[in-house]
Amino acid sequence: MLREQAGLTIEEAARITRSSISSAYRHERGESAPTELAIEVLRLVAENHRKARPESKFRFIDLFAGIGGLRSGFDTIGGKCVFTSEWDKYAVLTYRKNFREDPEHIFGGDIREFTNDAEALKTIPEHDVLLAGFPCQPFSIAGVSKKNALGRSHGFLDETQGTLFFNVAQVIKHHKPRAFLLENVKNLERHDKGRTFQTIMNVLRNDLGYHVRSKVLSSRPWVPQGRERIFIVGFLEETDFSFDHVRVPDGPGPKLGSILASDVNPKYTLTAHLWQYLRNYKAKHMAKGNGFGYGLFGPNDVARTLSARYYKDGSEILIDQGNGKRPRRLTPQECARLMGFARDGKEWIIPVSDTQAYKQFGNAVVVPVVEAVANAMRPHILALVQREVG
């Protein structure tokens, strides 16, 4: 399709061909044909796009992709995304709106559909790097106990069956990418008294044969949010990669004022009823000596971690509006900035409801943190790719 070859979204194609959005979607569905002039414009754009597009240095896949935070970091270092897996239809909608389509790119849904057997695994394109922000789940030892009873040998991989990490491990086992980056919540290290993390590391190192390093990184140097996530990096061959090589911005981190909008719709201001409820809730827990309750922040502050439950009442990050006004929630676009999706004057396209947007950003990774890790991985990825080519 010419639009895809031109690297354009449907909306961008409509704009440059001076078509209406509804007409562009009809063209996309094959219900009507674009004008000859529109076709010629798209052909020229496609040709220029082909000439201007830098040749990709490596191929990667994006599992549990959400809205594309991990992909964003690896796009910037010369990678080409050839496969994406995400089951949530609203996240898929946002993802597709913000990444230009490529005819070689395959968009899949539930990753379990691609890991049922060897034939299904073959439908995932070959790749150099695997990215996955997999959910954290407890691992059952039932299967291991049964194998012990039957006198059968087993590996650590058996202990993860029934979890989504198992599906990631199956892809790694089949395709043997040169490197991977996995991301999860900070508490993964302590989940199930540390057994979950230990099992994961044993699978990656002993069952799959990778050289693995991990570190919890705070987003504080990059964005005005105290968000901590664990990153797990693995290479099929030994390298001198170190998280010490991740470049952290110098000086004090940014403050909330750097992402706040100057003109905000009044609908984001809390109702009198909700504000009173949150104050009462906090007072009740303070009387018990607990720290539960809302968080109120100004432009010179750093926010708490944005969570997927932000859509409920916004209580973890409320913005003080001063002058006796009730506080307000962050807008979805401010959340995009807080997570590093919208930067350098470029806004993130948000085609979903506020509720879905809050869930998406609360579940996402902080993009500039991923970019920093990707840049530290880049020379080692390229060296391994070039060694294979040579």
Residue 201 and residue 279 in one domain? no
C-alpha to C-alpha distance for 130 and 122, rounded to whole angstroms: 15
pLDDT tens profile 197-228: 898 999 999 999 999 999 999 999 999 999 99
Residue 140: its pLDDT value, please? 47
Residue 48: its pLDDT value, please? 62
Residue 10, pLDDT above cutoff 90: no
Residue 20 and residue 71 in one domain? no
C-alpha to C-alpha distance for 292 and 278, rounded to whole angstroms: 10
Which has more pLDDT, 289 or 371?
371
Q: Give the confidence band of 306 by pLDDT, cuts at 50, 70, 90.
A: very high
What's the whole-number mean pLDDT along residues 315-335?
94
CATH number at residue 118: 3.40.50.150
**Domain boundary, last residue among 37, 52, 67:** 52
Going by the DSSP 8-state scheme, the letter that residue 224 receives in this structure is: S
Residue 379 and residue 288 in one domain? no
Helical residues (DSSP H) of the chain, grouped into ranges: 2-5, 10-16, 21-29, 36-52, 69-75, 89-98, 118-122, 142-149, 164-175, 195-202, 272-287, 310-313, 332-338, 354-363, 367-389
Which has more pLDDT, 153 or 232?
232
Model pTM greater than 0.85? no
Marked catalytic residue, from 16, 120, 121, 136: 136
Residue 162: its pLDDT value, please? 61
DSSP letters, 276-342, are HHHHHHHHHHHHTT---S--EE-TTS-B----TTHHHH-TTSEE---TTPPPBPPPHHHHHHHTTSS
Which has more pLDDT, 375 or 154?
375
C-alpha to C-alpha distance for 50 and 2, rounded to whole angstroms: 11
C-alpha to C-alpha distance for 145 and 166, rounded to whole angstroms: 18
C-alpha to C-alpha distance for 330 and 338, rounded to whole angstroms: 9
Q: Which two tokens mark 378?
A: 């880049």
CATH number at residue 303: 3.90.120.10
Residue 5, pLDDT above cutoff 60: no
Which has more pLDDT, 343 or 173?
173
Residue 53: its pLDDT value, please? 46
pLDDT tens profile 238-294: 999 999 999 999 888 899 999 999 999 999 999 999 999 999 988 887 777 676 778
pLDDT tens profile 309-318: 999 999 999 9
**Domain boundary, last residue among 16, 37, 52:** 52
Residue 9 and residue 127 in one domain? no
Q: Give the confidence band of 150 by pLDDT, cuts at 50, 70, 90.
A: very low
Residue 164: its pLDDT value, please? 86
Residue 133 and residue 209 in one domain? yes
**What residue type is assigned to position 11 of the chain?**
E
**Structural domain span for residue 24:** 2-52
C-alpha to C-alpha distance for 162 and 287, rounded to whole angstroms: 43
Beta bridge partners of 248: none
Residue 201 and residue 150 in one domain? yes
Residue 247 and residue 372 in one domain? yes
Residue 263 and residue 245 in one domain? no
Residue 174 and residue 227 in one domain? yes
The rounded Cα 172 to chain-centroid distance in angstroms is: 19
**What residue type is assigned to position 387 of the chain?**
R
Residue 172, pLDDT above cutoff 50: yes
Residue 108 and residue 23 in one domain? no
Residue 27 and residue 77 in one domain? no
What's the whole-number mean pLDDT along residues 144-162?
48
Most confidently predicted of 160-169, 332-341, 379-388: 332-341
- Express the helix, strand and coil content of the chain in percent, nearest 5 each: 45, 15, 40
User: Does the annotation mark 136 as catalytic?
Assistant: yes
Q: For the chain, what is the domain count?
A: 3
C-alpha to C-alpha distance for 321 and 298, rounded to whole angstroms: 8
C-alpha to C-alpha distance for 313 and 310, rounded to whole angstroms: 6
Beta-sheet pairing, 211-218 with 228-235: antiparallel
Beta bridge partners of 231: 183, 215
Residue 148: its pLDDT value, please? 43
Torsion angles phi and psi, residue 232, rounded to 5: -120, 120
End-to-end CA distance of the chain: 34
Residue 62 and residue 22 in one domain? no
CB neighbourhood size of 363 (10 A): 19
Which residues have CB under 8 Å from 351's CB, separation 6+? 93, 94, 97
Q: Which two tokens mark 14?
A: 């409509």
Q: Which two tokens mark 166?
A: 């198992």
